[in-house]
Amino acid sequence: MSSLFNEILYRPLFNALVLLYNYITFEDLGLAIILLTILIRFLLFPLFYKSFKSQALIQKIQPEIQKIQHLHKDNREKQAQELLALYQKHKVNPFSGFLMIFAQLPILIALYQLFLKGFSEAALSNLYSFVSAPESIHSSLLGLVDLSSKNVIIVVLAVAVQYFQGKLSLPKHEKGKEMPPAAKIGRQMVIIGPILTFVILRSLPAAIGLYWLVSSLFSMVQQVIINRNLNKNG
């Protein structure tokens, strides 16, 4: 199983990173990581976009969901049927958030290994025959940040961007109106998520934090686009 994971995910990503490092970013590992992150996010864009859009739509139709739950609180079967019909009407997949997590989890694991191993001798043995090993290794971003070491500035920036991206995904709440339980959990996660990210990233190499920062920036831009499209459509 590990060899299959290596061939399908880790090895292609590692070779892509080396190609970017050798020929595109002039041996700047930080820029290579940024470009690789953007490339991955573009490849996963349809999945992320669909998931983010479904989550935004679910928030938008919360009043209808609550109405159905109240009307059929004593009939779970009828409630499930009505909710399913509502989701179909608005073309929403309530499980899209989980699907997105499961789909990107193997990629996150591969990237974690990729940035943790770096350009070690063991890692370089995974190069394809047509990919040359780097002549020299510079584990830095623009010569300013050592990506092989911990860096609190990168972590703080990654956490801040993740927080603001989460805030953008929250629906507007009218003052004086009771907030549904799902909305309360969503607002709590906007704070809990970045805290967990800080705890995890602070002890890892800055390369992983840089990936998280760029990925979160991409998500934030994507969330802005989705919000604008939803506002235009109604």
Q: Which residue has the tokens 């959990």?
A: 185
176: Cβ contacts below 8 Å, ≥ 6 apart:
none
Identify the H or E element spanning 145: strand 145-146
15-49: burial string, b at 16+ Cβ within 10 Å, e else: ebbbbbbbeebeebbbbbbbbbbeebbeebeeebe
The H or E element that residue 233 is part of is: none
- The reported pLDDT for the residue numbered 31 is 92
The gap from C-alpha 175 to its chain's centroid, in whole angstroms, comes to 31
Amino acid at site 30: G
Q: What is the pLDDT of residues 23-66, one digit of tens each?
A: 898 888 889 999 998 998 888 777 777 777 777 677 777 777 77
Instruction: Determine which helix (DSSP H) or strand (DSSP E) holds 57, and give its type and residue range.
Output: helix 45-60
Return the amino acid letter for 118. Answer: G
For Cα atoms 146, 152, 154, give the angle at the middle one, nearest 5 degrees.
65
Measured N-to-C along each axis, helices 29-43 and 11-19 cross at an angle, to the nearest 10 degrees, of 130
DSSP for residue 129: T
How far apart (Å, rounded) are the C-alpha atoms in residues 123 and 46?
31
**In what helix (H) or strand (E) does residue 140 lie, and over which residues does it extend?**
strand 140-141
Q: What is the pLDDT of residues 164-220, one digit of tens each?
A: 888 777 656 555 555 555 556 667 777 888 888 898 888 888 888 898 899 889 888
Cβ neighbours, 10 Å, residue 157:
17
Q: Provide the pLDDT for residue 1.
A: 56
Q: Residue 51's CB: how many other CB atoms inside 10 A?
A: 21
What distance in Å separates the CA atoms of residue 157 and residue 209, rounded to the nearest whole number?
9
Spell out the domain ranges in the chain.
2-232
Residue 216, Ramachandran bin (φ over 0: left; ψ between -120 and 50: alpha; else beta): alpha
Tens digit of each residue's pLDDT (9 = 90 or more) over 120-163: 888 888 899 898 888 877 788 887 888 888 889 999 999 998 88
